Amino acid sequence: MPLKDKKIIVTGGPTREWIDPVRYISNASSGKMGIALADAAVSRSKQTVFIHGPIENSLLTNTIFKSIYVETTADLMNAVLNELTPGCVIIMAAAPADFQPEKKSSTKIKKENDTDILILKLKKNPDILKNIAEKKSKDASLSGIFVTGFAAETDNTESNAIKKFNAKNLDMICLNDVTQKDAGFGTDTNRIIIFTKDSDGIKKTELPLLLKAEAAERILDLIESELK
Ligand code: PMT
């Protein structure tokens, strides 16, 4: 089914969890993969929305999709859940911080204490894709949404991606091995292996090394053919 009449929600970039007013927990996601996907998506459907964490503003110059800025993983989850509509397509290329400090200090934590070690207690952030799956199962009008996740892996890459595919009840997962120097965080290229469902179980589609823009087109082609 062509994506022309579909709302497409793409997420990208990192999220940020503040420790105190000057320090935060985050990761090295640049937002490039998400932007490439949103660019490819908007050329197929004007109803494309890109929800992103803190990224270089210049990367958004000349983009024509609607953008929504968020900061924390909870903000990202709320924004995504708020955008879900029956029949939409969601592509989660963001790298949300998995943990946040249990307590945020309202003043800058001083380093002039008598110890060299600072212990931070972290608590788990909500899993956005699991929350989408839950909403999908509770709200019949959302049962037809198509959900694509990404898996940023460093070891046992395929088995870890397949675990996420099943645990998060996804329609598709795009695995990138982020230990490769031309793939994953910050690069202009990516090497992606895509897993989808088929009648015999799980189907694997291996993309070669591609520019993120080219990989994004291939992912959207595959989503389009999965929707048929
Ligand atoms: O932004 P770039 O520099 O271009 O880099 C691109 C990328 C490497 C960030 C991207 O290609 C990628 O792999 N994104 C997913 C990063 C990630 O969080 O992977 P994960 O394996 O930890 O998470 C699996 C899936 O769950 C992801 O779709 C993620 O968006 C989602 N997730 C993660 C944490 C969380 N609390 N809720 C989630 O829904």
- Amino acid 44 reads R
- Per-residue pLDDT, averaged over 35-43, amounts to 98
How far does the centroid of ligand 1 lie from the alpha carbon of residue 106, in Å?
Answer: 29
CB atoms within 10 A of CB 38: 30
The Cα angle at residue 156 between residues 134 and 182, in degrees rounded to 5? 100
Which residue from 28, 172, 178 is spatially nearest to 92, judged by alpha carbons? 172
Three-class secondary structure of residue 90 per DSSP: strand
Q: What stretches of the chain show up as alpha helix (H) in DSSP?
A: 32-42, 73-83, 128-138, 157-167, 212-226
Which residue from 67, 55, 64, 57 is spatially nearest to 31, judged by alpha carbons? 55
Q: How far apart are CA 100 and CA 89, in angstroms?
A: 28
Is the CB of 20 within 6 Å of ligand 1? Answer: no
Give percent of the chain with pLDDT exceeding 90: 94
Residue nearest atom 35 of ligand 1, based on CA coordinates = 127
Using alpha carbons, list the distances in angstroms from residue 218 to 3, 83, 175, 223: 13, 24, 14, 9
Is the CB of 93 within 6 Å of ligand 1? Answer: yes
Is the CB of 89 within 6 Å of ligand 1? Answer: no
Is the CB of 92 within 6 Å of ligand 1? Answer: yes
Q: What is the pLDDT of residues 42-73, one digit of tens each?
A: 999 999 999 999 999 999 999 999 999 999 99
Is the CB of 129 within 6 Å of ligand 1? Answer: yes
Residue 139 scores a pLDDT above 80: yes
Three-class secondary structure of residue 5 per DSSP: helix
Q: What is the pLDDT of residues 194-220, one digit of tens each?
A: 999 998 899 999 999 999 999 999 999
Q: Which atom of ligand 1 is nearest to the CA of 178?
A: 8
Catalytic annotation, residues: 27
For the chain, the domains span 3-102+121-227
| Tokens linked to 13 | 């970039």
Q: Which of 11, 129, 147, 165 to mutate to test the pocket of ligand 1 (most atoms within 8 A of CB)?
A: 129
The predicted structure's pLDDT at residue 41: 98
Question: For residue 107, what is the DSSP state?
Answer: S
Annotation: CATH topology of 3-102+121-227: Rossmann fold (3.40.50)
Q: List 11's β-bridge partners, or say none.
A: 51, 92
Is the CB of 178 within 6 Å of ligand 1? Answer: yes
Q: List 177's β-bridge partners, or say none.
A: 153
The predicted structure's pLDDT at residue 81: 98
How far does the centroid of ligand 1 lie from the alpha carbon of residue 93, in Å?
Answer: 5
Q: Which atom of ligand 1 is nearest to the CA of 13?
A: 1
How far does the centroid of ligand 1 lie from the alpha carbon of residue 114, in Å?
Answer: 38
pTM above 0.85, yes or no: yes
